[in-house]
Structure 1
Amino acid sequence: MKNHLYDACMAYVQQRIQTATEAMTAAQESANAESKSSAGDKYETGRAMAQLERDRHAQLLADAQRMRQELEHLDPLAPPGPVVRPGSLVLTSAGNFYIAISAGRLLVDGQPYMAVSPASPIGALLRGKSVGEVVTFNKQTYLINGIL
């Protein structure tokens, strides 16, 4: 199951990288297509807006590449440990969490899982916990039933 979740997270990251790359290219083409007009301020404003858009997508691309690097450091085939750590699949009384990247809700084989970063609030609460321990997040109690 961890391998399927890992693949779903990698597909999520690849999609974000592709989307950001395409948007950056489109913004750059838009900036290049701005033609000089008699209203010089309009030309400069259009180029500046396109550059801001390109920069925003460049940041999104950098974030997605960082997420891919985080994923590449995980071994989905690693045996489970006694405590929650990056790469763990945590089965709780109120949902299942894959500690990897912040990809949100993933459906794998019809089952919902939450892919969360170890640095996220819930990921930080779960980290280092073992089976039988309880954590409370947003007034919700989670009993750890298993760590895979």
Structure 2
Amino acid sequence: MMREKLLAKCADYVEERVSRLQSSIKDLEHDLGNETKSSAGDKYETSREMINTEINKLQNQLQSFKKLKEVLAVIENRKASTTVQLGSIVKTNAANYFISIPVGEIKVEEEKFYAIGLNSPIGKLLLGKQEGEQFIFQQKEFSIKKIL
């Protein structure tokens, strides 16, 4: 139940970002279409090139978010495990983590979770750990209390 709620919040985050990026790309493409050639040809070409560069940058970001959607789909089909893996909810003595995609802080049922990717520094430390194990992050000792 908690996992589904966390997944839904992560999916909402990705969808909102994808929607914003698509809107920005559409606006830039519209601007590109409205760019008129002036007698100052170099200025026209420079302006078009700047718009194209920005469109390419946004399209790359869009691709990144589409990959995050794929990660969420993988998590959705994963079974719970006794060791920390992609899709695990990890409760420690200091914070709660959802091993998924890098979203940051998420609040579910008045409880705070940090949605982090496996490649994050803390995600790498948690991977493969079990309940009761400890790890040190930024000179602070953490103890894993529960894995869901």
Class of the TM-score when normalised by the shorter of the 2 chains: over 0.9
Give the fraction of aligned pairs with identical amino acids, expressed as a percent. Answer: 33
Separation (CA, whole Å) in 1 of partners of 2:70 and 2:105:
20
User: For residues 76 and 12 of structure 1, do their structure 2 counterparts lie closer, same or farther at Cα, with a shift above 3 Å needed?
Assistant: farther
3-state DSSP of counterpart to 1:91: strand
TM-score, structure 1 as length reference = 0.94
- Give the partner amino acid of 2:84: V
Task: Summarize the alignment of residues 33-72 of structure 1 with structure 2, pairs less than 5 Å apart.
Answer: 33-72=34-73
3-state DSSP of counterpart to 1:90: strand
CA contact (8 A) 2:92 2:146 kept: yes
Number of equivalenced pairs: 147
Separation (CA, whole Å) in 2 of partners of 1:112 and 1:143:
17
- Structure 2 match to 1:18: 19
- Structure 1 match to 2:81: 81
Separation (CA, whole Å) in 2 of partners of 1:96 and 1:125:
14
User: How far off its partner does 1:139 sit?
Assistant: 2.3
- Structure 2 match to 1:119: 119
CA contact (8 A) 1:90 1:144 kept: yes
3-state DSSP of counterpart to 2:106: strand
Q: Deviations over 1:55-105 (max 9, x none)?
A: 111011000000000100113773x32210111000001100000111111
Root mean square deviation of aligned Cα: 1.3
Gap regions ≥5 residues in structure 2: none
Gap regions ≥5 residues in structure 1: none
User: For residues 4 and 76 of structure 1, do their structure 2 counterparts lie closer, same or farther at Cα, with a shift above 3 Å needed?
Assistant: farther
Separation (CA, whole Å) in 2 of partners of 1:73 and 1:37:
51
3-state DSSP of counterpart to 2:75: coil
Separation (CA, whole Å) in 2 of partners of 1:141 and 1:54:
44
3-state DSSP of counterpart to 1:102: coil
User: How far off its partner does 1:18 sit?
Assistant: 0.7
3-state DSSP of counterpart to 2:90: strand
User: How far off its partner does 1:8 sit?
Assistant: 0.4
TM-score, structure 2 as length reference = 0.94
